[in-house]
Amino acid sequence: MAQSPVDTFTDLLGTYHGEQGEGVCPSGQLTAYAETLTLRRQHDWVWFQFSAIEPSGQVLHEEHGVFRPTPDGKLEASIVMNSGRMEFAKGGWNGATLLLDSSRFLNDRLGVLATRRRYEFRPQACSRTFWLATPQWPTLTLHMWGTLHRVSVEVRAPRG
């Protein structure tokens, strides 16, 4: 039986944190933030990502999600954000890079047209890039980016 793309994430489980994230809003305002990404295995994948505007700690964005393998060997994600928006995305994992493109939104009051998330993992770090399309940015536009460093590892017993 072929290995599920979710199973190949085992070495990446843990928490990553970055203090130098940056983002630009459709208004053109540049924002700096800190962020934390936690990957945990619970049946499928559970992913938590938190960002805050520095230095006040005001919540900029928060999301929780689940990755699941698809029959064609790719991944799909269900993501819930602190704004109440739900996003569904599909993509792939090549052992170092996770790329997810949105496929559907629910409860979206902002008119988001599309998103793309790219996570590039290397030993002890993860670079995160997020593109966004809105009525003000009708094509995917670079929105948030940053590098997170691994601060903890989740130790998992082998599945069996």
Higher-confidence residue of 127 and 95: namely: 127
Q: Is residue 42 scored above 70 in pLDDT?
A: yes
CA 10-103-87 angle, 5° bins:
70
Q: Is residue 43 scored above 80 in pLDDT?
A: no
Q: Is residue 45 scored above 80 in pLDDT?
A: no
Per-chain mean pLDDT for the chain: 85
Helices within 84-154 (DSSP H only): none
Indicate the pLDDT class of residue 91, thresholds 50, 70 and 90. Answer: very high
Maximum CA pair distance of the chain? 51
> For the residues 123-140, what does the mean pLDDT come to?
93
**pLDDT for 119:** 93
Whether 31 contacts 23, CB under 8 Å: yes
pTM assigned to the model: 0.86
Percent of the chain past pLDDT 70, that is, above it, reads 88
**pLDDT for 52:** 64
Q: Is residue 46 scored above 70 in pLDDT?
A: no
What CATH architecture does domain 21-153 belong to?
Beta Barrel (2.40)
Whether 97 contacts 120, CB under 8 Å: yes
